[in-house]
Amino acid sequence: MTNAITDFLQIRRSTLISKMTSEPLPEADIETILACGVRVPDHAVLGPWQIQVIQGEGRAYLGTHILRPEFAANNQDATPEGLAFEEERFLRAGAIFAVLFTPKEHPKIPEWEMVLSAGAVAMNITTAAQALGYGAQWVTEWYSYNDKMLAALGGTVGSDKIAGFIYVGEKSEAPTERRRPPRENVIGFYTPPVA
Ligand SMILES: Cc1cc2nc3c(=O)[nH]c(=O)nc-3n(C[C@H](O)[C@H](O)[C@H](O)COP(=O)(O)O)c2cc1C
């Protein structure tokens, strides 16, 4: 049995950020992607994640106020070209969906399950954008591990983390196929031990 969704899931592919354009996304598409992003398994409805949509002027603002100065502070030998590239990182796509992992205290739900739920948000955003025909790529790069970026996106330093940034834009070039782990390495069909 197959259907359009399972057919799509077997062929979907990320598009490198360098192969997408920075045209803004229509608001309706942003809304569709967000609606898919928040519809994920979440044990006890804790909502241990946040999504920040970075688009329009917000892309350049974060470049000037976080990406460039933070890269400069951590890379003393950065060249002017390198700094310019860092400043313009978010201008590489029409919209960037930052997914924050925001764990909650709970007597029964371990933090690990909240981590998994945040990953599901990031994957749903990636899949939804690709299903709409956009190029999308989930990256962490260096600034997912930067406290100033985390704080700028509304995260609490010390407890929250950045699960990644999903860049979304029109494709300027179709992606080629990617090497995948051999199925036999990653899939098994459980058989109970013979008594
Ligand atoms: C958590 C996470 C972080 C990632 N960070 C990066 C990154 O910083 N740079 C990069 O080139 N790819 C990164 N990737 C890999 C790509 O986003 C993606 O997995 C790869 O292009 C293949 O994706 P596909 O299966 O959708 O084709 C990351 C993947 C994950 C799951």
* Structural domains of the chain sorted by starting position, each given as residue range(s) with its CATH number in brackets: 11-173 (3.40.109.10)
Assess whether the C-beta atom of 127 lies below 6 angstroms from ligand 1.
no
State the pLDDT at residue 195. Answer: 84
State the pLDDT at residue 1. Answer: 85
Distance 176 CA to ligand 1 centre (A): 15
Assess whether the C-beta atom of 137 lies below 6 angstroms from ligand 1.
yes
CA gap 106, 179 in Å, rounded: 39
Closest CA to 22 of 172, 123, 139, 140: 172
76: left (phi over 0), alpha (psi -120 to 50) or beta: alpha
99-123 pLDDT, tens digit per residue, is 999 999 999 999 999 999 999 999 9
Closest C-alpha residue for ligand 1 atom 4: 139
Residues of the chain with pLDDT under 70: none
State the pLDDT at residue 2. Answer: 82
Q: Which atom of ligand 1 is nearest to the CA of 180?
A: 25
